[in-house]
A = this chain, B = another copy of it.
């Protein structure tokens, strides 16, 4: 059967992996897809690299715009990244009636509404399995595997760099800065790690999952984002003593008041499976009303795991491209005319549990002052731990876990607690999720 022709934009790590896997597993992929899938042209600014990787197996060019207009190309794989030229190229490819497969989470989270509308208009598919959690087929699970369910929430470890750093901090009791440096040396963190450690990458992925879980339009601007750079090893130790681990989670939840969209370090019970996801691995928990909790685990990044997701999309497009567009899987899980604009809940209105750590003078009445303030704000304590002060030390740490409370109440209480003369320095506040 005539092969389906792919134009690959960007032959970096993931592009190279896609090229390699598609070639290595060509026979098995053809047996699945029903016809060969061939990369016929690669575009990259670095022509030399493109020539080296492709080794004469296909055309190479430095003109990506020529590729998206090439009448011989059926599917464009976009691996350039970012929202600049990548967006132009994707829209141009769609306008030219080409199907698109992309790993570009930043582009979809910020410009997805526009891109999917254009794809719908043109009757082409846009595959994005590789945009979230690398090789884990989580987009497919949400979009097709769990269609029976009213999805209640999703909570995921969706950034490998930060999970690696947190695992190392806990394992070795080292401070954030030292572990980050080590992660950079090992290639687990980029030279400029901002996107990862500040939670922006996780927020992009969360935005995409939230849209397909709830049939909501992409709402990246509504995500509350808190990274891991201020996390202290002491809190990881205290969390451990209380039976919890700290993970950077992307959480989206449907509540009566609106959709929660938040990325932040989170205490989770150590006995949960997801608390034991270590190193650069990813895992996503999904709670559906019928299925209950399901978990999906695997490598969230890297050349071949990401290529696995890209090629799965290529096979999907190959299997489905002759079907009329109304009878394909809808881009965002819900039919285009059934998408809605749900209210995004401001973080101040989110209700969850909290971990508080304060440094206090070790003298009578301190606890009474603090607990009275919490009571004033209707915040109740579930567990408390006070560190035994060392000999001669006049200050100590108090750690408290609260019951569920609204974030603005805890914030108001914190302002008052920090103003107490017996309380030294800023209070540390982290969020806690039971994930049940």
Q: Could you list some 26 contacts between A and B, CB below 8 A?
A: A21-B289, A24-B289, A25-B149, A28-B215, A31-B215, A31-B335, A34-B330, A135-B294, A137-B146, A140-B144, A146-B308, A147-B312, A147-B315, A148-B310, A148-B312, A273-B277, A273-B297, A290-B304, A290-B305, A290-B307, A290-B308, A291-B308, A294-B297, A295-B298, A319-B328, A322-B323
Which residues of chain A have a CB within 8 Å of any CB of chain B? 17, 21-22, 24-25, 28-34, 129, 135-137, 140-141, 144-150, 215, 273, 276-277, 288-299, 304-305, 307-312, 315-316, 319-324, 326-330, 333-335, 338
Q: In the complex, A215→B299 CA distance in Å?
A: 25
With A29-B147, A148-B311, A273-B276 as known contacts, state yes or no: A291 contacts B140, CB within 8 Å: no
**What is the oligomeric copy number?**
2
Contact A295 B297, beta carbon cutoff 8 Å: yes
CA of A411 to CA of B276, assembled, Å: 37
Q: Which of B34, B288, B308, B327 contacts A326 (CB 8 A)?
A: B34
Closest to A212 in B: B32
State how many angstroms separate the Cβ of A210 from the closest Cβ of chain B.
15
Distance in angstroms from A3 CB to nearest chain B CB is 15
**Do A137 and B148 have beta carbons less than 8 Å apart?**
no
Q: Is the CB of B148 within 8 A of A316?
A: no
Distance from A19 Cβ to chain B, minimum over Cβ atoms (Å): 12
Q: Cβ of A29: which chain B residues have Cβ within 8 Å of it? A: 147-148
Check if B291 sits within 8 Å of A299, measured CB to CB.
Answer: yes
With A31-B338, A335-B31 as contacts: A296 and B295 at CB distance below 8 Å? yes
Q: Which residue of B lies closest to A334 (CB)?
A: B31
* Cα of A305 to Cα of B148 in the assembled complex, Å: 10
Cβ-defined contact, A294 with B291, below 8 A: no
> Are B334 and A327 in contact, CB atoms less than 8 angstroms apart?
no
**Contacting residues, chain B, for A315 (C-beta < 8 A):** 144, 147-148
